[in-house]
Structure 1
């Protein structure tokens, strides 16, 4: 993949980025998603674990695409009907078509977006490939959801977003990477508590209650690849929203959240729960 390696080198040569180890010898969830979406920024360990997941859930590539489609619908709703002009995207993933800033700035050109991911390859690609559009701004932080206080205190975030004004927080397919003993609900709450009234949060999360047998097989495969993966039930996912006001239709299968091309024949065909909620 010489072209992709060259892009990553360009991104890492940015003087604003500290030297980091790309760690292409171990699988990473962002690169696995890139593999499922048909991208090129993935490596043998990512593909091996991605294929192991696919053996347990043959439709997992479709699920990855549906998860991505939800992100687009949610951001269009937030930038359009909800009037949000600031976005904090946690667990960005490899840049691909329909990134948060592209969707938001197409709807509202003055939108400001901060991306956060703990994979240095994601950061390298972001620096090299992503540009703001219109009058908006786009920034990137190499950080981890396990340390939400550091995310909130990062000067890149505070220099891009005004936390005294509403923000659209996206936690799309990332909370499942935090084990229960690392308090995922508390980590999300730190971020949510820091946001002003009128802010929104959009969440997707693999569901333990769609196909328990398949999910158990995926969890086992993840463990063999030294990756944390915790599917959760609908009630456990709903708990992330706390006392925020859920936007209709509430916590539903990802394919069933405000579909733009008609109701799917089987909304539960993608094993993800999803929802959007507003801070009162």
Structure 2
């Protein structure tokens, strides 16, 4: 396994693999890898070569967000990658990805205006820009993203479609702890008391799924019941909890199509996200 820090080195490796007719799977990450990332690597094993990027992208963090404190451990990440068959880690510095006079962005409307886009207004411009750059650098056949970041996945799929990018975007299921908490690098921010409170997100999801299976089709009722459950936890503060169209990210009143029920909840100072989808057209 190679670890490279420059775009030139990545392109050289890719060129050699392309000459051999090899397919390439790609996993963009911000590092501090966990079992969720490992599941993406396992899925990417359907390709001849696997590239994983580790880059804490400053462009997707707002002024008051956790860029400086975001967890980093390249040695640990490298070990997990090597054990799971990654062929190349791309680990650039910000200066390698963004020139001092950088002024070109990939932006999107509509899909970015709900959910995380409301409370993190610069976030998705940063995500789209860095993912587009990484796609141009790595030129993968397939790229793998976790379904925990459901809005991000929908946005990347739309960007690929709208801009005719020649890559297949594959969503992979949420990986959870035994108590249902979605695996996330930000879980490391939780203290012992907060960690005990964190399963409240998954508990609300279980309640929401049962309501739907029992016949509830009013989105407002669904959200009200789920919110009431979360608000019983003193350490939980809801950022958002909404039912939206899974394709357009627009809010829905009736549960009568493929719906994404997504939430962001602060547990203490840590902002956790989770979601589930339900397809009413099946």
Give me the TM-score of the superposition, normalised by structure 1. Answer: 0.37
Which protein has the larger Cα radius of gyration, Structure 1 or Structure 2?
A: 2
Higher strand share: 2
> Which one has a larger percent helix, Structure 1 or Structure 2?
1
